[in-house]
Structures are given as C-alpha cells and as structure tokens.
C-alpha cells in the first residue's frame, strides 16, 4: 500500500541493516496512519529495523491477528 517490497540485498544473511514491512492495522493503530512512515525505525526482536512499506488492508498474516511486521528472510 505504501512504500516498497523487500529487495534481494536485504536478506537477513546479507549483514545489511534490517528493514521491515508493517501491517495496515499496525500502521493505523500505532502510527496514526502516518503517510510519512517509511524510514522510521522500529525494534523487532530487540533489533532496529527501518520501515520500508505498509501492507494493504486486505493482507492477512498466516497467524491471523498476531503478526504486525515482516522482515526479509535469508
């Protein structure tokens, strides 16, 4: 919905700074639907991650209702 998807160089194993894509609900509830959310830093598992995107409202995580942010995988 906002921002972009992950790029290959952002894989966890790459050693690059971490990035995240957050859910629409998390964006609305915790960030007051801030249209300038991309670039803000949140903490995932105690590690800083820069928000690069917001998922569409209709996107559902596999563990419905629990997931709020995605990070790239290796």
Would 8 be classed as within a structural domain? no
Would 53 be classed as within a structural domain? yes
Burial grade of 52 (CB within 10 A; 0-12, 13-18, 19 or more):
buried
Number of domains in the chain: 1
pLDDT of residue 64: 55
Instruction: State which residues form the domain around 24.
Output: 15-58
Which portions of the chain are predicted below pLDDT 50? 74
Would 50 be classed as within a structural domain? yes
CA 37/CA 15 separation, integer angstroms: 24
Would 44 be classed as within a structural domain? yes
Look up the pTM and report it.
0.78
pLDDT of residue 59: 87
pLDDT of residue 66: 57
Would 23 be classed as within a structural domain? yes
């Amino acid at each position: 919905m906002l921002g972009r998807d992950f790029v290959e160089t952002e894989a966890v194993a790459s050693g690059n700074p971490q990035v995240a894509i957050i859910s629409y609900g998390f964006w609305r509830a915790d960030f007051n639907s801030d249209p300038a959310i991309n670039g803000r830093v949140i903490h995932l598992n105690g590690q800083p991650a820069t928000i690069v995107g917001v998922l569409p409202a209709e996107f559902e995580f596999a563990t419905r209702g629990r997931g709020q942010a995605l990070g790239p995988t290796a």
